[in-house]
A and B are shown apart, each in its own frame.
Chain A
Amino acid sequence: DIQLTQSPSSMSASLGDRVSLTCQSSQGIGNYLSWYQHKPGKPPKPMIYYATNLADGVPSRFSGSRSGSDYSLTISSLESEDTAIYYCLQYDEYPPTFGAGTKLELK
């Protein structure tokens, strides 16, 4: 199975900070990488799909990028509502696999 390694596992940042989360794939997955925001008591919310595409209704401060097998989710200016756990998912090859998540908190 393809392994996705997310880093850091947790982090804290201040309001207005630029934040970048990383997901590294153990094998080539092309652009079949998506990001999900997960808050307690709610279902995961799609944020980025196909590595760089913003999902419907997601604020423009979120963006996705790719460099080889490294994928990033960037928040240009952190807001309080962005605190959550963020998961990446690869769906290039079966089975789909999730990263372990990055917990993002406010400093």
Chain B
Amino acid sequence: QVQLKESGPGLVQPSQTLSLTCTVSGFSLTSYNVHWVRQPPGKGLEWMGRMRYNGDTSYNSALKSRLSISRDTSKNQVFLKMNSLQTDDTGTYYCTRETIAAHFDYWGQGVMVTVSS
């Protein structure tokens, strides 16, 4: 069945780089788009960026200068890297699959990231 699972460090120091991995199963990264969405504590959902099925990427303009999304199709993994982390980057980070009907049908469980010294 379709699954997505985020992994990465739970704690990152301010000004450092966050590296997260989304490992997928049950579908091909060359057939579906995968997105990253985050939620700061007590706040709403924020779209971060997308890895398209053909390898193209799109980013939230507010994060574009700090964010990079890549993939390794042989390992069924999508990567998120975001540099210059600050405390307001603390939150839960999700990867999610986009369907043809332009919505997100499967989500990972999320990974909590705390930015603190």
Contacts and interface: CB of A to CB of B under 8 A. Distances in A.
Contact of B103 (A43, A50, A95, A100): A50
B61 interface: yes
A57 B37 CA distance: 23
Contact of A95 (B58, B96, B98, B105): B58
Contacts of A22: none
Nearest to B102: A91
Given A94-B58, A95-B60, A95-B61, A46 B44 contact: no
Contacts of A84: none
A50 to B, nearest CB: 5
A95 B57 CA distance: 12
Contact of B107 (A43, A99, A100): A43
Interface residues on B, range: 20 to 34
Nearest to A29: B102
Contacts of A24: none
Q: Which one of A32, A49, A94, A96 has the greatest number of beta carbons of chain B within 10 Å?
A: A96
Interface residues of A, number: 26
Nearest to A44: B107
Contact of A49 (B44, B47, B60, B103): B103
10 contacts: A32-B102, A38-B45, A46-B104, A49-B101, A50-B102, A89-B45, A89-B103, A91-B102, A92-B102, A98-B44
User: Nearest 10 A-B pairs (CB), nearest first?
Assistant: A43-B107, A34-B103, A49-B103, A91-B102, A98-B45, A96-B47, A32-B102, A49-B101, A101-B44, A100-B44
Interface of B: 35, 37, 44-47, 58, 60-61, 94, 96, 98-99, 101-105, 107-110
Given A36-B104, A43-B109, A45-B107, 17 more contacts: A34-B102, A34-B103, A42-B109, A43-B94, A44-B37, A44-B104, A49-B101, A49-B102, A50-B101, A55-B105, A87-B44, A91-B98, A91-B103, A95-B61, A96-B47, A98-B44, A98-B47
